[in-house]
Structure 1
Amino acid sequence: MNTGLQLYNTLTRKKELFEPLNAPHVGMYVCGPTVYSDVHLGNCRTFISFDLIFRYLKYSGYKVRYVRNITDAGHLEGDRDEGDDKFAKRAKLEQLEPMEIVQKYTLGFHDVLRMFNTLPPSIEPTATGHIIEQIEMIKEIMNNGYAYEANGTIYFDVEKYSKTFNYTILTNRNLEDMLANTRELGGQDEKRGRLDFALWIKAKPETLMRWTSPWGEGFPGWHIECSAMSAKYLGAEFDIHGGGMDLAATHHTNEIAQSEACSHKQPAKYWMHTNMLTVNGTRMSKSAGNGFLPEQLFTGDHELLEKGFSPMTVKFFMLQAHYRSTLDFSNEALDASEKGFRRLMNALSLLDKLVPVESSDFEIDPIIDNCVKAMNDDFNSPVVIAELFEASRIINTIHDGKGKISSLELDKLKQLMQDFVYDIFGLKDEETSNLALNSVLDMVIDLRKTAKENKDYATSDKIRLGLQSMGIQLKDSKEGTTWNKA
């Protein structure tokens, strides 16, 4: 089991040696999507990043319970419990039942993540499936004196909680400044304090999604669902809580408050957050007109895109940046990642064609050690990719007859690529994984071989040039003819 892993903990704002509460078991909770619309790229980056973390923890010998929720109830517009219920709003717009909206966008979310070849979580609970747990947690918070009822809605008392606990422990913000920068309460506002937030919201007559509670019919607030579900499946204390950095200031801050008010325990030992996406240096958002959906990125159907990029190219592009760094999308950057990904996949396609000898010009252990060291350093995927390119250079050198490798080192090289490219990064060759394409190319290469043997060089050249025009490069050697993406 890996004992050298260092994680950056948002809670303490520093790297710490990862020590699970119940080693070798790890509990990890990641805030999942709100399924009232299509998943956006910011979500995708978060889930690709935590898929990498999930995979590496398993590779390191930990038994991981990865919980990723689905928000399918409530979730009012904004962070102040104001506006319309997003699910009801979308249901009315599309003239569907709210749960039809949930089903439609949940399936779409899963389809996108399958295209990125991410592993499913261990458990994927939904807010609507855990209403009882949320109600029971709210009752316990009220019994402990940190919440109050106002006309059928339950609010969390932030100022009272702050007298005992540190409400801003995750962000290190100044509570007095937060109060000063929050608007004054109007005469009709039910909240006692300006920072108070809803745990349970009274249903209006037109509310579509509603449940019976001790306080009347209503629906849960956004924050309570994650506190209730993480506690149910991982306990009052667990190892890792993750999500996008935009969740830290409000959603995760309120999660910590709810959990401590209920159990008097800080829920997660390590808090991890992925950084935001930008497009040509500007933050990606719908309002800026520079936000695009994964499908648009794949097809190129967006005014900011010169062409489409495959899911593995996009995933490779994301892994080339550290999960805590800003990731800037541009056509130039995606083009470079496309070329780099093809170079890596082309090298991998040559691995099984390498013929070992007794002695070796290369040692693979230093590359393996560097990859492990980089991943242990807060999952530094860009450094690992640089090492994988070095391994690719070695493969190409041997294949070109300019170097030799022993059976032992070749086995290490194959295991390195299997572990880090496929098992940890979750990449796959979108070209050579197509068995039908492989079979057709093998047949065409055989036809060309026969033409050359019959000295029909015109046909041989026609096949070679035809494949080249389609982006397939043939390479002749003593061992035979191989192909790769040009």
Structure 2
Amino acid sequence: MPSNLTLYNSLTRRKESFKPLVEGHVGLYVCGPTVYNPVHLGNCRTFVSFDIIYRYLMAKGYRVRYVRNITDVGHLTDDGEDRMSKGARLEQLEPMEVAQKFSNQFHDMMRTFNALPPSIEPRATGHIIEQIEMVREILKNGYAYEVNGSVYFDVEAYNNANDDRYGELSGRRIDELMAESRELKAQDEKRNPSDFAIWMRASDDHILRWDSPWGPGFPGWHLECSAMSTKYLGEQFDIHGGGNDLKFPHHENEIAQNVGACHHGGARYWLHTNMLLMNGKKMSKSDGNTITPEQLFSGESKHVSEGYSPMVIRFFMLQTHYRSTMDLSDEALQAAKKGYGRLMDAWQSLSELEAGGSAQNGTVGKELMAGLEAAYAEMDDDFNTPKAVARIFELVTRINALKGGQLSLDEVSADTLASFKERLGTLLFDVLGLRDEAAGAGAEQEALDKVMQIVLDLRQQARADKDWALSDKLRDALSAAGITVKDGKDGASWSI
């Protein structure tokens, strides 16, 4: 399958032409959430970005296997406590209750933002066997050592055998890594401060623990992604993605583990999203510079003047390239609200246009198709959504001019108009993942009107039959649902 898609590879630090390992197929792995607390807005930005990448790859005709994991063990806090165990302690629940609760919340949020589900969503706790086997292979190949029931990856041995490869993704030097190494529990067991645990001994009171050849314990956070990406995508696959904050140590350690176990580094292309700021500053709970997705929807925050719909927020996200820092502000959201409304209005106008009947395109028809091709070309350039959106708004100007009569539909053939509508719709809704909220709300209201008319007709028939019990039951049930029924000389009406 010929492709003119280029993407920025974090591993080589340059744009490269995308060539999948298997023609027509793409293996995509994205690091998913650690489900010990509600998903935050920065996570949403990352997953929306990869949703667009997933959608565009499919729109180009690739069969994509998209794997996005759920981390429910092994991700430690700075003081060495497992995040799932900490979440269970704070919530006074079993760890798997915590995992299920916040997995459900995460999935609800992804649906709210109209993000497609992945092809496979594996959990770390469901792949303990694969992780133990990977530890065995790393030990067998001489890249790890066991101490008191814990197994550590030997970074120095890895570097000696692989031309100082550790740090190739993040650009960190080994002496820098040693200086920056965190002081975690059992740090004195390591041969070098830069070594990292791939299997950790569990204390007697540790909740999440499994038997292993090295004693009761649990896998390291970095290990799970190496094991699951290998299982579902192979020892080599196409694209690995995640937030820029995962580049080191998580992704760096993934590469080392994959080489240590399989002699391959896993993904050939590494894609990273940048961070989300608010009002020009890093989000921070300590200084109050933060907002949750729910607060953004409701407007119940000092940082916004009103609530914003999920599609306005998604449209706002489209206006920053996934590799660039995104700055959230009320002013920017206001602009996104206006832009999204203008775009959906233009789409509605386009759907109402009919070609003037000319068999041949004039200048206008050619400009429409050329502008559309330019928008797709921007997506081919490392999924450049802000430039693609800018190209789309150039088309919005032409659509509005066609509606207003400043441009003539006689210069657009019927076939061209039909093709333009189809391909622009694909770009807006299938690739960028937008929804026409006004149209959706109208359809929902129409459906509700029809259902309510049926209910009112049933109630009216019950009254005609003097079946007062059924009539009152229907009225009371509607009242309990927040719907008021008023009887008048012209019949019954309802309101919410």
TM over 0.5: yes
Residue 419 of structure 1 and its aligned partner are, at CA, apart by 1.3
- In the alignment, structure 2 segments of 5+ residues that lack a partner are 451-496
Aligned to 1:433, what secondary structure does the other structure show? helix
Q: Which residue of structure 2 lines up, in the alignment, with residue 256 of structure 1?
A: 255
Equivalent residues of 2:321, 2:384 under 8 A apart: yes
Match of 1:158 in 2: 155
Matched, 1:114 2:118: no
Identity among equivalent positions (%) equals: 53
Q: Is the 8 A contact 1:279 1:328 kept in 2?
A: yes
1:378 equivalenced with 2:372 (yes/no): no
Secondary structure at the aligned position of 1:15 is classed as: strand
Greater shift after overlay, 117-126 or 361-370? Answer: 361-370
Contact residue 80 and residue 184 of structure 2 kept, 8 A:
no
- CA distance change for structure 1 residues 175 and 188 in 2, over 3 Å: closer, same or farther? closer
Q: SS at 2:271's partner residue?
A: strand
Name the residue aligned to 1:42: 42
Aligned with 2:39: secondary structure? coil
What is the CA deviation profile of residues 240-272 of structure 1, one whole-angstrom value per residue up to 9, with x for unaligned ones?
A: 000000000100000000000111112110000
Could you tell me how far apart the structure 2 residues matched to 1:239 and 1:408 are? Answer: 37
Q: How many angstroms does 1:88 deviate by?
A: 1.2
The letter for the 1-side match of 2:125 is: T
Matched residue of 2:15: which SS? strand
Tell me what 2:206 maps to.
Answer: 207
Q: Does 1:96 align with 2:93?
A: yes
Q: How many Å apart are 1:9 and its aligned residue?
A: 0.2
Distance verdict in 2 for CA 1:183–1:92, change over 3 Å = closer
Aligned residues of 2:201 and 2:215 also touching (Cα < 8 A): yes
Residue number in structure 1 paired with 2:288: 289
- Aligned runs of 1:36-185 on 2, under 5 Å? 36-78=36-78, 82-165=79-162, 166-182=165-181
- Superimposed CA distance per residue, residues 324-358 of structure 1 (whole angstroms, 9 cap, x where no aligned partner): 00000000001000100000011111222112203
Cα distance in 2 between the residues matched to 1:439 and 1:263: 56
Q: Output the amino acid matched with 1:421.
A: L
Matched residue type, 1:314: I
Match of 2:347 in 1: 348
* Post-superposition offset of 1:176: 2.2
Please state whether the residue corresponding to 2:188 is helix, strand or coil: coil
What are the equivalent positions in structure 2 for 1:84-483 lying under 5 Å apart? 84-165=81-162, 166-182=165-181, 189-359=188-358, 360=362, 361-363=364-366, 364-405=368-409, 406=412, 407-434=414-441, 435-437=443-445
Contact residue 174 and residue 194 of structure 2 kept, 8 A: no
- In structure 2, what is the Cα distance between the partners aligned to 1:287 and 1:133? 40
Contact 1:69 1:127 in 2 (8 A): yes
Answer with 349-358 or 8-17: which moved more.
Answer: 349-358
Distance, in Å, in 1 between the alignment partners of 2:62 and 2:294 is: 34
Kindly provide the CA deviation profile for residues 269-327 of structure 1, in whole angstroms up to 9, marking residues without a partner as x. Answer: 00000000111111123344222221111111222222111100010000111000000
Following TM superposition, by how much is the alpha carbon of 1:441 offset from its aligned partner in structure 2, in angstroms? 11
Deviations 1:360-400 (A, max 9, x none): 53422211220121011000111111121122222221222
Distance 1:70 1:439, change over 3 A: closer
Q: Using the TM superposition, name which of 370-379 and 397-406 deviates more.
A: 397-406
Q: Are the equivalent residues in 2 in contact too, given 1:2–1:61 (CA < 8 A)?
A: no
Asked if 1:24 is matched to 2:24, the reply is yes
The structure-2 alpha-carbon separation of the partners of 1:436 and 1:58, relative to structure 1 and needing over 3 Å to count, comes to: closer
1:44: Cα distance to partner? 0.8
Higher percent of residues as helix? 2
What is the SS of the residue equivalent to 1:189? Answer: helix
Alpha-carbon distance, 1:2 to partner: 4.9
> Offset at 1:73?
1.0
SS at match of 1:21: coil
Assess, with a 3 A threshold, how the Cα gap between structure 1 residues 181 and 428 changes in structure 2: closer, same or farther: closer
> Residues of 1 paired with 2:395 and 2:288: CA distance?
40
Q: CA RMSD in A?
A: 1.9
Shift of 1:203: 1.0
Q: Deviations over 1:444-469 (max 9, x none)?
A: xxxxxxxxxxxxxxxxxxxxxxxxxx
DSSP 3-state at the match of 1:432: helix
SS of the residue aligned with 2:440? coil
Q: What's the CA shift for 1:183?
A: 6.9
Q: Is the 8 A contact 1:275 1:327 kept in 2?
A: yes
Report if the CA contact (8 A) 1:35-1:71 is conserved.
yes
More moved, 213-222 vs 279-288: 279-288
Deviations 1:204-235 (A, max 9, x none): 12211111111111111100000000000000
| Cα contact 2:372–2:392 (8 A) shared by 1 | no
Q: Which amino acid aligns with 1:420?
A: L
Taking the aligned partners of 1:431 and 1:169, their CA distance within structure 2 comes to: 48
Of residues 348-357 and 13-22 in structure 1, the stretch that sits farther from structure 2 once superposed is 348-357
Q: Decide whether aligned partners of structure 1 residues 437 and 397 sit closer, same or farther in structure 2, where only a CA change above 3 A counts.
A: farther
Give CA-to-partner distance per residue, 1:390-444, whole Å, 9 cap, x none: 22222221222222223123113202321110110010011111214357999xx
Q: Secondary structure at the match of 2:27?
A: strand
Q: CA deviation at 1:32?
A: 0.3
Alignment partners' CA distance in 2, 1:255 and 1:420: 34
Contact 1:223 1:251 survives alignment (8 Å): yes
